[in-house]
Structure 1
Amino acid sequence: MKPTELRVALFSGNYNYVRDGANQALNLLVGHLLAQGAAVRIYSPTTATPAFAPIGDLVSVPALALPGERGEYKIGLGLRARTRRDLADFAPNIIHVSAPDMLGHAALTYARRRGIASVASLHTRFETYLRYYGVGFAEPMIERLLKRFYNRADRVLVPSPSIRTLLHQWGVTTGIAIWSRGIDHDRFHPTRRSLDWRRSLGIADDEIALGFLGRLVKEKGLGIFADVTAELRRRGVRHKVLVVGKGPAQSWFAEQAPGAVFAGFQSGDELGRAVASMDIFFNPSVTETFGNVTTEAMAAGVPVVAARATGAVDLIADGVDGYLVAPTDVAGYADAIERIVADSDLMRRLGESGHAKAASYRWDTANQAVLDTYLDLMKNRARCPS
């Protein structure tokens, strides 16, 4: 089969209404598939005020907003009659689901009942979110549900080897392939660093800008981040917390990290400038599957201190291009950051090593791996029809 014979129905819980790493990857994937001649149609909840214009043909599906402080997110209500008619008219030969929600389950059921090839990609460690909202006891149950979900697909795509290992530990027996990630190397580069921009935020040239990048939600490790900065203050380690991003936990985080500078949401070349203007990137999150923000910091020549968890362990060689620390070890994080602050040569070496390693992450290569997975799956099904 050729790429031009593929008809891919992609199901997403959030294709473009809130910007995040997962939907950025999905949009870039669709762009690559379209460029190779494949037909693609996307089914996702939408909003009247999307975060960015979608790549490809986007069909809005019925959805409800999540309750509580995460109301910016929506959950698709399965495959309603109108969506089914549109899907039947499109006549896909591959169904790709990107979230284990009601819509994703319904799409896999649709594929299985009609003998359509199916692929599920994993983007977020949803099971870890529960520990940040007081219901961590339910994590094993969520893992069992996720195991069932991914075992229903014909092939699973994960962004890193550590996530493949995790799924095997859960008992996922479906074939697993790697869909890595890429970087815009023009945007994320050491030359984007701007002392003028730092000064405009009140960060002195001789201050260490300890950076956070991402949505301000508790599951990104904000509590640990605040505890570590408090420990650094107790030790007298001079630094200024630089926060790039926004989200519902911003007010809470501002109280927990007094003196932090909030640069707000940044995009495009302004985002590249913000990342390169950090001195150390600190990522204590354990919810990452790959860590796009980590590779962006590495590409910008910024040394990284991160949780020894999925995603980061695939990217960072401890002591070579950054430091990995046990996820809740506040003193260990502070030791690593203090070590870098105290040694400018070490800071430079770590940054240069990370920049060199990040050069291998290319979107074209990553997305071609997905296309190759589609084609291999179709070839196997043609050879061994069910």
Structure 2
Amino acid sequence: MRVLVVSESFLPTTNGVTTSVRKVLEHLALRGHEALVVVPAAGAPSRYAGFPVREVPAIAYRQFPVGLPSPQLQGIIAEFRPDVIHAASPFLLGAQAIAAGTRLGIPAVAIFQTDVAGYAKRNRLGAATRFAWRVVRWIHDGAELTLVPSSASMHDLESAGVPRLARWGRGVDLETYHPRNRLDPLVTLLRDRIAPEGETIVGYVGRVAPEKQLERFESLRGLRGVRLAIVGDGPSLPLVQKQLRGIPTTYLGALSGRDLALAYASFDVFAHTGAEETFGQTIQEAHASGLPVIAPHAGGPIDLIDHGTNGYLFDPRFDAHLRGHVRSLVEDEALRLRMGEAGRRAVLGRTWEQVCDELVGHYEAVLENSALEKAVRGRMATPLSTI
């Protein structure tokens, strides 16, 4: 199979979209497929997983490269002649790829991953929210299939009138993120740095940006026996540092690979604060690491957390609920361990290999449906005198 992967985000930018695209490319290489990657110009590597990476013109917006419509994209598609187009979190670049595929008779699978409309809603931009959903519907209407990561996203897209939807989650690296990492001597050193008196460590991993709502951690102020650890970087870091001043907090910066796995292993509890997650990949990584997770009862976390079994879902309208759940886990080590074990069990069937095989199955179904539709159109176009 020949797959054109068009992504609004890629290396060196690190986020959920980039991670899932990298895993998809690695899996396509593992299974012997061919691929070409098209991304906004931002200093991406020329190849990834053995596949060529082509950059197209982009502009910077709030530290992110935004791919611009470019006449060279249709030329790239026509030259590569893919069987299917994979549009990752499509916006301007992805929308153009889907439209070009339609003109060339190439089906597209769109991956819904960024809650653009949620951003407008959070900023109380009522008209912008309605406009954002119209844009989402327009972009995805051209795709043969839109894959959504959670039941909440499914509901939102159905309500917005987006057709042809199916669920597709995300995988997690069960070897990199593992409870045994807690035995690593480097984790002991890290725990001693964060919590020198043996306090319970509540950790966060992710971008430090407005939509992540890290200001919710202010609700932990004065809670005894707690130390906060934040992994990540982003535009809101100075403001968050100011808001959390006086709360014992260690800022570990952006981490990846083994360093990130060891950071998870140093936590006792994982807390996610943003209420706009379409999935919640860090929740899966925390569960794989054997941690109980606390997150808002909104979006992707609803599907990932079994409330009271492997973590807690708090009402995002009341930050005091976050504080209460943290206190419960701080005061009960046995409960933390039980929930952590349950979290690990919950992700055992979600390896990237399994999830990406499912994705290839979606490609195949779309190709079969496309071939059937072409055959039907061909029969309908045949004059009766020739039958």
1:338 aligns to 2:331 (yes or no): no
Choose the corresponding residue for 2:296, options 293, 296, 307. 307
Q: State the distance in 2 between where 1:323 and 1:42 align.
A: 39
Choose the corresponding residue for 2:133, options 127, 135, 143. 143
For residues 380 and 347 of structure 1, do their structure 2 counterparts lie closer, same or farther at Cα, with a shift above 3 Å needed? Answer: same
CA contact (8 A) 2:208 2:214 kept: yes
Q: What is residue 107 of structure 1 aligned with on the other side?
A: 97
Q: Which amino acid aligns with 1:160?
A: S
1:165 aligns to 2:155 (yes or no): yes
Q: What is residue 351 of structure 1 aligned with on the other side?
A: 340
1:74 aligns to 2:65 (yes or no): yes
Q: What is residue 195 of structure 1 aligned with on the other side?
A: 188
User: How far 1:137 sits from its partner (Å)?
Assistant: 5.3
Structure-to-structure mapping, 1:208-223, within 5 angstroms: 208-223=200-215
CA contact (8 A) 2:211 2:274 kept: yes
Choose the corresponding residue for 1:25, options 20, 24, 41. 20
For residues 51 and 131 of structure 1, do their structure 2 counterparts lie closer, same or farther at Cα, with a shift above 3 Å needed? Answer: farther
User: How far 1:163 sits from its partner (Å)?
Assistant: 1.9
For residues 179 and 240 of structure 1, do their structure 2 counterparts lie closer, same or farther at Cα, with a shift above 3 Å needed? Answer: same
Q: State the distance in 2 between where 1:122 and 1:173 align.
A: 12
Aligned residues between the structures: 368
Partner SS state of residue 198, structure 1: helix
Of all paired residues, the percent bearing the same amino acid is: 29
For residues 337 and 53 of structure 1, do their structure 2 counterparts lie closer, same or farther at Cα, with a shift above 3 Å needed? Answer: farther
Q: Which amino acid aligns with 2:14?
A: R
Q: What is residue 385 of structure 2 aligned with on the other side?
A: none
For residues 240 and 131 of structure 1, do their structure 2 counterparts lie closer, same or farther at Cα, with a shift above 3 Å needed? Answer: farther
1:40 aligns to 2:38 (yes or no): no
Q: What is residue 3 of structure 1 aligned with on the other side?
A: none
Q: What is residue 384 of structure 2 aligned with on the other side?
A: none
CA contact (8 A) 1:282 1:304 kept: yes
Choose the corresponding residue for 2:227, options 240, 249, 261. 240
Q: State the distance in 2 between where 1:52 and 1:34 align.
A: 16
User: How far 1:237 sits from its partner (Å)?
Assistant: 3.0
CA contact (8 A) 1:245 1:266 kept: yes
User: How far 1:292 sits from its partner (Å)?
Assistant: 0.8
1:87 aligns to 2:77 (yes or no): yes
For residues 36 and 255 of structure 1, do their structure 2 counterparts lie closer, same or farther at Cα, with a shift above 3 Å needed? Answer: same
State the structure with more CA Rg: 2
1:12 aligns to 2:2 (yes or no): no
Q: What is residue 383 of structure 2 aligned with on the other side?
A: none
Partner SS state of residue 48, structure 2: coil
Partner SS state of residue 302, structure 1: coil
Q: State the distance in 2 between where 1:184 and 1:221 align.
A: 26
Gaps of 5+ in 1: 1-5
User: How far 1:283 sits from its partner (Å)?
Assistant: 0.6
User: How far 1:133 sits from its partner (Å)?
Assistant: 4.8
For residues 61 and 217 of structure 1, do their structure 2 counterparts lie closer, same or farther at Cα, with a shift above 3 Å needed? Answer: same
Gaps of 5+ in 2: 378-387
Q: Which amino acid aligns with 2:110?
A: A
Choose the corresponding residue for 2:110, options 107, 120, 125. 120
Q: State the distance in 1 between where 2:191 and 2:75 align.
A: 53
User: How far 1:206 sits from its partner (Å)?
Assistant: 2.2
Choose the corresponding residue for 1:185, options 163, 167, 174. 174
Give CA deviations for 1:193-245 in whole Å, capped at 9, x if unaligned: 2222121x3422521111110111111121223x3223xx2xx4321110011
Q: State the distance in 2 between where 1:181 and 1:149 align.
A: 22
Structure-to-structure mapping, 1:237-316, within 5 angstroms: 237-258=224-245, 259-316=248-305
User: How far 1:45 sits from its partner (Å)?
Assistant: 1.1
Q: State the distance in 1 between where 2:225 and 2:46 align.
A: 38
Give CA deviations for 1:134-159 in whole Å, capped at 9, x if unaligned: 64652232122212222221101122
Give CA deviations for 1:338-367 in whole Å, capped at 9, x if unaligned: 111111111111111111112121101100
Q: State the distance in 1 between where 2:254 and 2:332 align.
A: 31
- TM-score normalised by structure 1 residue count: 0.90
RMSD (Å), alpha carbons: 1.9
Larger CA deviation: 314-323 vs 280-289: 280-289
- TM-score normalised by structure 2 residue count: 0.90
Q: Which has the higher contact order (CA 8 A, sep 6+)?
A: 1
